[in-house]
Amino acid sequence: MKFLFDENISYRIVKKLKASLPDCIHVSQTPLRYASTDRTIWEYAKARSYIIVTFDADFKGLANVLSFPPKVILLKTGNCSTESVVTLLQNRLGEISKFNKSEIYGVMEIS
């Protein structure tokens, strides 16, 4: 699975997840950099088969309008540490893998 972490998630998450998710990147590691529009990030992820991981519910709206790919993981944890997000994602990798293989669902909300 390839994850693209939105700019509202710390770039430090990539280093913490590289062992379990070697194909994850942060938007700051792409040509997009910071302050890209959601639609630009969407198109980038779609063209490169990334799953977008974000706190931004606007991506759920894009998924409702544009369908998928890309798929979106919407984190609904509120304000929490990067380490908490890492743990949450690692604990849910089985479910995330099933979601990734699904041809029905394009958005997964995790809280």
pLDDT at position 110 over 80 = yes
Half-sphere exposure of residue 5: CA atoms within 13 angstroms, side-chain side: 23
Residue 56 pLDDT level (bands cut at 50, 70, 90): very high
Mean pLDDT of 33-58: 92
d(CA 51, CA 106) in angstroms, rounded, equals 9
Q: Which helix (H) or strand (E) holds 65?
A: helix 58-66
Instruction: List residues bridging with 52 in a β-sheet.
Output: 4, 72
63-81 pLDDT, tens digit per residue, is: 999 988 999 999 998 888 9
What pTM, to 2 d.p., does this model score?
Answer: 0.94
16-35 pLDDT, tens digit per residue, is: 998 889 999 999 999 987 67
